[in-house]
Structure 1
């Protein structure tokens, strides 16, 4: 059942954009193409700088960097700080789960989702694209930090 929520979400997005979303919507093709691309590359992983990463994470990170590069300077600075906050929160929460799992009273995916939603709402209360960009980039960077910490101790962890 590894990745059930991700696969379910990607298939749901593809079905919605293909069959339900209006054909006049300009984002329809991009979203459907991206969801299918992520579904296709989901089982593949590569080692990048001696860190095993799934190809879908790398694709999402490249897309996030592309949209991040289009921002103005001060918005980039604020976005960088917001990504840093989410990255530290995500890796800290993962380390808390590793060191003291008694505090995690629910499934980690729901808690991570709630914390990410809350942080994204606090950092960008009015902009959904900025929330998504910040949450994706911060989460992937948090996974990289967590993977580097686990690698130091000899535990394999795929991002």
Structure 2
């Protein structure tokens, strides 16, 4: 069922932000509000010209641009280049799925999620940067793919649940990878603390 991964991941993240994350974190309330609004807007669709758009997809794209606008000018240019690369990869996958679907060896959302996850790791060093280019790139890819299909009179919903599932899978993989990247320093500090305690006791 499309949208299940999106709903589960959003609710899990919202619960973490609301009840588990320390209240002093400056991003806590903002991120919780963003997740909640994205969940609410997922039930609304509207039309822009010839294109059908799901409100949550457009909201995610807008939030990505908002975070982008807070970066320095040079960083913004690089972010846009990275998001454009993600968009091209996103559209290319969909086009290959149409013209040669036999190479889809397992569920396409997971294939796309893993591919975009690897691409984000190559293009960006920070979790924030990776998430921004994935969300912006995927939604830009949705618009570009809808434009291509519209040339052939094929209807397509921009920001549909399948695309939100892809974004959710990629985000979860990136968060997990970031936790693994930082696990070394956390464990090092943890063991260093115990070593200090042993030295003091001796």
Q: How many residues align?
A: 158
User: Runs (4+) of structure 1 moved beyond 4 Å?
Assistant: none
Alignment map for 1:69-84 (pairs within 5 Å): 69-84=69-84
Unaligned runs of at least 5 residues, structure 1:
none
Residue in structure 2 matched with residue 134 of structure 1 by the alignment = 133
For each residue in 1:98-156, what CA deviation from the matched residue of structure 2 results, as whole angstroms up to 9, or x when unmatched? 111101101011111111111110001x2111111001111001111111111121221
2:175 counterpart of 1:157: no
2:29 counterpart of 1:5: no
2:97 counterpart of 1:93: no
Unaligned runs of at least 5 residues, structure 2:
159-202
For each residue in 1:75-104, what CA deviation from the matched residue of structure 2 results, as whole angstroms up to 9, or x when unmatched? 122112111111111000110011111011
Q: Which has the higher helix share?
A: 2
Relative contact order, higher structure (CA 8 A, sep 6+): 2
Label 1:49 to 1:133 Cα distance change in 2 as closer, same or farther (>3 A). farther
Alignment map for 1:36-55 (pairs within 5 Å): 36-55=36-55
TM-score w.r.t. length of structure 2: 0.75
What is the aligned-residue RMSD (CA, Å)?
Answer: 1.2
